[in-house]
Amino acid sequence: MQTSGQRIVNRLRASLFSSLLRQEVAFFDKTRTGELINRLSSDTALLGRSITENLSDGLRAGAQASIGIGMMFYVSPQLATFVLSVVPPISILAVIYGRYLQKLTKVMQDSLAQTTQLAEESIGNIRTVRAFGKEITEIEKYTSKVDHVMQLARKEAFARAGFFGATGLSGNLIVLSVLYKGGLLMGSAHMTVGELSSFLMYAFWVGLSIGGLSSFYSELMKGLGAGGRLWELLERKPELPFDGVVLNQESFQGTLEFRNVHFAYPARPEVPIFQDFSLSIPSASVTALVGPSGSGKSTVLSLLLRLYDPISGTISLDGHDIRQLNPVWLRSKIGTVSQEPVLFSCSIAENIAYGADDPSSVTAEQIEKVADVANAGAFIRNFPQGFNTVVGEKGVLLSGGQKQRIAIARALLKNPKILLLDEATSALDAENEYLVQEALDRLMEGRTVLIIAHRLSTIKNANTVAVLDQGKITERGRHEELLSKPNGIYRRLMNKQS
Ligand X SMILES: Nc1ncnc2c1ncn2[C@@H]1O[C@H](COP(=O)(O)OP(=O)(O)OP(=O)(O)O)[C@@H](O)[C@H]1O
Is the Cα torsion angle 466, 469, 470, 475 positive or negative in sign? Answer: negative
Minimum distance of ligand X from residue 479's CB (angstroms): 19
> Does the protein bind ligand X through residue 395 (CB under 6 A)?
no
* Pairing state between β 448-452 and 286-290: parallel
> Does the protein bind ligand X through residue 28 (CB under 6 A)?
no
Count of residues of this chain found to bind ligand X when the rule CB under 6 A is applied: 13
> Does the protein bind ligand X through residue 336 (CB under 6 A)?
no
Answer for which of 39, 49, 106, 297 binds ligand X (CB under 6 A) is 297
Residue 223 or 291: the one with the smaller Cβ distance to ligand X is: 291
d(CA 349, CA 359): 10
> Does the protein bind ligand X through residue 64 (CB under 6 A)?
no
Minimum distance of ligand X from residue 26's CB (angstroms): 8
- Select from 117-125, 142-150, 295-303, 426-434 the region that touches ligand X (CB under 6 A): 295-303
Minimum distance of ligand X from residue 452's CB (angstroms): 6
Q: What are phi and psi of 448, to 5 degrees?
A: -80, 120
**Run of H or E including 32:** none
To the nearest 10°, report the CA torsion of 10, 13, 19, 25.
Answer: -150
- Select from 97-105, 248-256, 297-305, 477-485 the region that touches ligand X (CB under 6 A): 297-305
Residue 295 or 351: the one with the smaller Cβ distance to ligand X is: 295
> Does the protein bind ligand X through residue 29 (CB under 6 A)?
yes
- Select from 148-156, 204-212, 262-270, 405-413 the region that touches ligand X (CB under 6 A): 262-270
d(CA 102, CA 410): 48
Question: What residues are paired with 317 via a beta bridge?
Answer: 256, 320
Answer for which of 187, 294, 319, 384 binds ligand X (CB under 6 A) is 294
> Does the protein bind ligand X through residue 295 (CB under 6 A)?
yes
Residue 303 or 418: the one with the smaller Cβ distance to ligand X is: 303
Answer for which of 50, 299, 351, 432 binds ligand X (CB under 6 A) is 299
Minimum distance of ligand X from residue 126's CB (angstroms): 24
- Select from 68-76, 120-128, 260-268, 433-441 the region that touches ligand X (CB under 6 A): 260-268
Inter-residue contact 416 to 334 (CB < 8 Å): yes
> Does the protein bind ligand X through residue 135 (CB under 6 A)?
no
> Does the protein bind ligand X through residue 298 (CB under 6 A)?
yes
**Long-range contacts of range 270-274, CB-CB < 8 Å, 24 or more positions apart?**
272/471, 273/299, 273/471, 274/299, 274/310, 274/471, 274/472
Residue 27 or 202: the one with the smaller Cβ distance to ligand X is: 27
Residue 303 or 373: the one with the smaller Cβ distance to ligand X is: 303
**Run of H or E including 167:** helix 135-187
> Does the protein bind ligand X through residue 296 (CB under 6 A)?
yes
- Select from 42-50, 184-192, 261-269, 481-489 the region that touches ligand X (CB under 6 A): 261-269
Residue 199 or 258: the one with the smaller Cβ distance to ligand X is: 258
The one-letter amino acid at 33: T
d(CA 65, CA 203): 9
Inter-residue contact 354 to 410 (CB < 8 Å): yes
Beta-strand (E) ranges in 367-447? 418-422
Residue 106 or 297: the one with the smaller Cβ distance to ligand X is: 297
Q: What are phi and psi of 334, to 5 degrees?
A: -115, 130
Encode 337-347: b = buried (16+ Cβ within 10 Å), e = exposed.
bbeebebeeeb
C-alpha 175 chain-centroid distance: 54
Residue 174 or 290: the one with the smaller Cβ distance to ligand X is: 290
Length of the chain: 498
Inter-residue contact 345 to 391 (CB < 8 Å): yes
Positions 274 through 293 that interact with ligand X (CB under 6 A): 291, 293
Closest CA to 405 of 457, 381, 440, 451: 440
Answer for which of 178, 230, 273, 288 binds ligand X (CB under 6 A) is 273
Residue 29 or 232: the one with the smaller Cβ distance to ligand X is: 29
Inter-residue contact 466 to 290 (CB < 8 Å): yes
Instruction: Enumerate helices (H) and strands (E) in the chain, giving the number of each.
Output: 20, 10
Residues in the site for ligand X, rule: CB under 6 A?
Answer: 29, 265, 267-268, 273, 291, 293-299
